[in-house]
Structure 1
Amino acid sequence: MAHASPRRRTLRRTATAVGAVAVIALGAAPAGAADPDTGLVMGKIGPIDGVKPGSEVGLPGSFTNTGTEALDKVWMIWSATIGLGYSSPTPSNCSTENYGGADEAPQSYLLICEFDQTVSPGVVYAPEGPKLRIQDSALNDELTARVSKSPIQIPEGSPTQGTGPAIKLVERPDETPAAPGSTEPARAGTKVTAKSTADFQVTGAQLKGKVGDTVPLTVKFTNAGPGWVAGEPYESVTNVHIKMPAGTTVTGTHSCRDQGQGAYVCGTSSSFMHPNTEHTYKFKLKINKAVPGAKGSVALEEKSRPFDPIKSNDSADILLDVEGAGATGGSGSTSGTGGSGTSGSDSSGSTSGSGGSGTSASGGSGSASGSGSTSGSGTSTTGGSSATGTSGSSSTGGDLAETGSGSTLPLAAAAAGAVILGAGGVLVARRRAARQR
C-alpha cells in the first residue's frame, strides 16, 4: 500500500492541543443523547507484539449484540496507522479508504465492511477475514475497530469497493459474550509492535572560505528507516543540535532556534516521520576570523531511542577550512553513516586547497584540504568509507548525544492519526500547525 509523502512545514506547538490531531467520531452522539449503537459491545483486543514486517495476522475484532432483539445488518470499520494495511483482494462487501494526511496527522487506512445477516442477542461474532498486513514501514502502530447499526461514511472520502469474495460474520462460541443490556463501547483498539528499527542519522558539512566571506551551510537529519516513527502530538519527532565553528557568525537561518554562542536547535516539520525522508537545515555563515582547527558539530538530542540501534551516525562534524588559518585537518569526514545509508536528496560538494583530499559519507562525496604543509598521512573513516591525505587526520564524532535506553518515542494516538470510531454521522476535529519563523 502506497503512502503519501509527509507535508513539509515548520511545526509549532499548539497550546490548546486536544490530544488528537485527526479525531473521527463516526456517528458520535451529542452530549446527553443516547448512543445509537447501544446494545453492540466490542470485545477487548489484546496487544499484537513482535510481528514481522511483510507478514499477515488475523484481523482482530469481535462483538456481542447485548440487546433483546436480533439485528438484520451491521457494519464494521477498522482504522490502521501507516505501518499497517489489509490483505488483498478486498472482499466485495467491504471498501477501503485513506483518511488524513494533513496537518500533523499521517494517513489512516480504513476498511469498512457491511454484513447483511442476522446478528442474534447474546452471541459473539467476528469476521472470517480479511487479514491485517504488517507493512515494511511498521514499527509502533495502532489499530482501532468499531461495530455499528448504521452505515458508516467518511467525509470527503473516495472509497474503493472490493472485488474479492464476500466475507461473513461467524460465531465465536469459545469467547465469553458481553452481559445482556451492557452498554460498553462499540469500539476497541490495540497497539501493534513490529520487529523492526528506524535509523535516525545526521550529516555534517565541509566549508571553505576566507575571512569576510559568507558561506552557505547545509546539514541534514534523516530517518533511514525501515520503520516510521511518531512522537507526541504537535512536538518534533526529535531535535537536532548544531554548534557552529569558532570564528563564525550565523547571518541567516530558517526554522531553527538560536541558543546563543553559536548553538542552534532544529526540529521537524511534523510529529511523525516516514522512512527514507529527511529534514534539511540551511544557514548562512560569516567567517569573522581565522581560527586554526575550527570545527562545529551536528548531533541528535540526548533522548532515548531504543528503536535506533545504530549510534555511530547520531553525530557529525562541521569542518571549516579558512584561508590563512593553517592546517584544519582537511581529511576529516563530515558524517557517520555506518549501518544503513540515507536516501532522498543527498548532497555532495567539493572544495580545493593545497593539502590532501577527504571523503564525506553523507550520501555524496566531497573533498576538503588544509593549507598546512605538514607531511605524513592520515585517515578518516565514517560508515565504512575512508580517505587518506597528507594534511593530518580528523575523525567524526563531535559532541555525540548520549542516547541511553528506555521506552520508545510514544506513539501518541494523535500523531499516528489514531481514530476514535462511533456510528452514523461524522465529526472531524483538526488542528492546523502554523509556520514558525
Structure 2
Amino acid sequence: MPFPPHRTARTIAAALSSAGLLVLGVAPLASADETASELVVEKIAPVDGVKPGSTFDQPVVLTNNGAATADKVWVMYSATRGLDYAEIPSNCQAHQVTAYDEMTAKSNVVCEFDQAVEPGATYTPGKPLAIKALPHALDDVLRVSVWDHAPDLDDAATPPVAGTAPAVKLVEGTAGGEATEEAVDVPVTSVNTADFQVEGAELTGSPGDTVTLRTKFTNAGPAWVLTDEGDQLPEVRITPPAGTSVVKADGFCEAEGETYVCGTSQRWVDEGKGETYTFRLKIDKKVEGAKGSVALGDAARPFDPEKGNDKADITLKVEDSGSTGSTGSGDAEGSAGSSGSTGGNEPEAQGSQLAATGSSSTTAVTGAAAAAVIVGGATLLGARRHRAQGLR
C-alpha cells in the first residue's frame, strides 16, 4: 500500500490493526489450554557487525512450559530479504514468500523434530542453523518460532524444498535465558551502505503551456533499506520552479507551502529501486533564472555516506514564443503517480489515485477493513499467516 509522507511504520501498523479489529469485533485469544503443551523460545540477542557474504550460527533454546508433552516439535526461521541460509538439514524444508501488502519478502526454513518434549524440558538443535548475509544485507530481522504442529504455509509461499545437509536432532539443554512466547525477533545488522539519491529535471515551454515534471528517487545500493517501526519513512521534497503552478501533483505528495513532501510506496526500498514522482505544471510567466529543486528529507541516514547526490535542480527554460511542452523525462499527458520500490502494482496505483483525489489514508484503511468483513474468515486466516511469516 502507498505510504504518504509523515507516516511512521508504527502509525501505519496501528491504523491497520485498529480498523480491522474494530470492524470485525475480534476478541483477544482465549487463555492457553491448561492440559496442552506450551512451547516457548528463549530471547536471542541482536546480531551486529555482520559482513555481507559471511555466515553466523544461530542457536535456539526451546522449553515446554505446558502441562502436556509435545509429541513433535517444529522450529521455523523466517528471514528478511538481506539474509539467507548457508546449508539446510534434510529434516528441514525451505520456501520463499514474496512481498505483499505491508509485509516484506521472506526466506523461511521449517525444521521438523520427531522427538517428544516433556513438560518443563529444555532442548536445543544439536547444530545451530547457519545464517548467511547477502550482498544487499543491512538492517534485517530473523524471526524464530516454535510449534507443536506443522505451521501453515503463507498463501504467497513457494513450494517447500527439503534440505540436503545431514539431519539435525534436538539435544537436552538448560534454560538460562529470558523465555518469550512462541516467537522471537532477532535484529541482524550488517556492515554495509546504501546510497539514496535524487535526479532533477530540465523543463522547456512557453507561458501558458502545461508541462510534465518527472523527478526520481533511487536507492543505488548496494544494500536494501527497511524502515524500522517508529522510524520516519523516507521523504523527498520537491519545489517547482518560480513562475509555475501545479495543475496536478503526484499521488504520493502533499503540499507544504511551495514545496511538496513526497512519500514512498512501501516502508522498504530495495537496491536499484525507488520512486518516480510526476507533476503537471503550468508555466504562468517567465522568471529569469527560475530554478526548483528535488531533495531528500532531513531524516538521519547513517547508512548513506554519499551526500553529494541528495539534492538536484529542476531547471525551467521559458521561450518567448512557440510551445514545446517538453521535459527531460518525456511528456506523457495526465501521467500522475509513482512506480514503487516493488516495481508497482494495482493496489499501489489505486492508493496513488486516492491520494491524488484528496482521499485520506484513514479512508483507505477503513475501506480495507470493510472489505475484510465481506471476505469473513479470510482475515482470521491471515492472522496465522502473519505469525508464521513474522511481523515485518
- Deviation readout 1:264-296 (Å, 9 max, x if unpaired): 111111111111102001112222111111110
Distance 1:183 1:223 in 2: 38
Q: Once the two structures are aligned, what percentage of the paired residues are identical?
A: 39
| Aligned-partner Cα distance in 2 for 1:218–1:206 | 9
Structure 1 length-normalised TM: 0.64
- What is the 5 A alignment of 1:164-183? 164-171=164-171, 176-177=174-175
In 2, are the aligned partners of 1:17 and 1:234 still within 8 Å (CA)? no
2:3 aligned residue (11, 36, 39): 11
Counterpart AA for 1:167: A
* Structure-2 separation of matches of 1:111 and 1:37: 25
Counterpart for residue 279 of structure 1 = 275
Equivalent residue, structure 2, for 1:188:
184
CA RMSD of aligned residues (A): 3.5
TM-score by length of 2: 0.70
Query: Could you list the per-position Cα deviations for residues 75-109 of structure 1 after superposition, in whole angstroms to 9, with x for gaps in the alignment?
Result: 11111111111124x32211112235111111122
Partner of 1:44: 43
Letter in 1 for 2:149: S
Provide, for residues 226-269 of structure 1, a one-character-per-residue CA deviation record: whole Å limited to 9, x for no partner: 22222256997311111111111122232144526532111111
Residue in 2 that maps onto 1:253: 249
Range 283-292 or range 115-124, more displaced: 115-124
In structure 1, the residue matched to 2:311 is: 315
Query: How big is the shift at 1:155?
Result: 3.9
- How far apart, CA to CA, are the structure 1 residues paired with 2:166 and 2:247? 63
| Greater helix share, structure number | 2
Partner Cα separation in structure 2 for residue 60 and residue 145 of structure 1: 10
Instruction: For residue 211 of structure 1, give the secondary structure of its aligned residue in structure 2.
Output: coil
Residue of structure 2 in register with 1:106 after alignment: 104
Please state if 1:162 is matched with 2:170: no
Distance of aligned partners of 1:260 and 1:427 in 2 relative to their CA distance in 1, 3 Å threshold: closer
SS of 1:16 mapped into structure 2: helix
State the Cα distance separating 1:219 from its structure 2 match. 0.4
Shift of the 102–33 alpha-carbon distance from structure 1 to 2, 3 Å rule, reads same
After the TM superposition, which residues 46-61 of structure 1 pair with which residues of structure 2 at under 5 Å, given as runs? Answer: 46-61=45-60
- Counterpart for residue 64 of structure 1: 63
Query: In the TM superposition, what is the alpha-carbon distance from 1:223 to its structure 2 partner?
Result: 1.0
> What is the deviation of 1:50?
0.4
State yes or no: 1:223 paired with 2:222: no
Q: Which residue of 2 aligns with 1:421?
A: none
Q: Distance in 1 between matches of 2:305 and 2:278?
A: 28
Aligned to 1:30: 29
Deviation at 1:30, TM superposition (A): 3.1
Larger radius of gyration: 1
Would the alpha carbon gap of residues 275 and 20 (structure 1) be closer, same or farther in structure 2, given more than 3 Å must change?
farther
* Offset, 1:167: 2.0
CA pair 294-227 structure 1, distance change in 2 beyond 3 A? same
Runs (5+) with no aligned partner, structure 2? 21-27, 322-326, 331-380, 388-392
Amino acid at match of 2:235: N
Match of 1:379 in 2: none
Q: Is the 8 A contact 1:137 1:275 kept in 2?
A: yes
CA contact (8 A) 2:219 2:272 kept: yes
Q: 1:116 aligns with which of 114, 117, 121?
A: 114
Shift of 1:33: 3.3
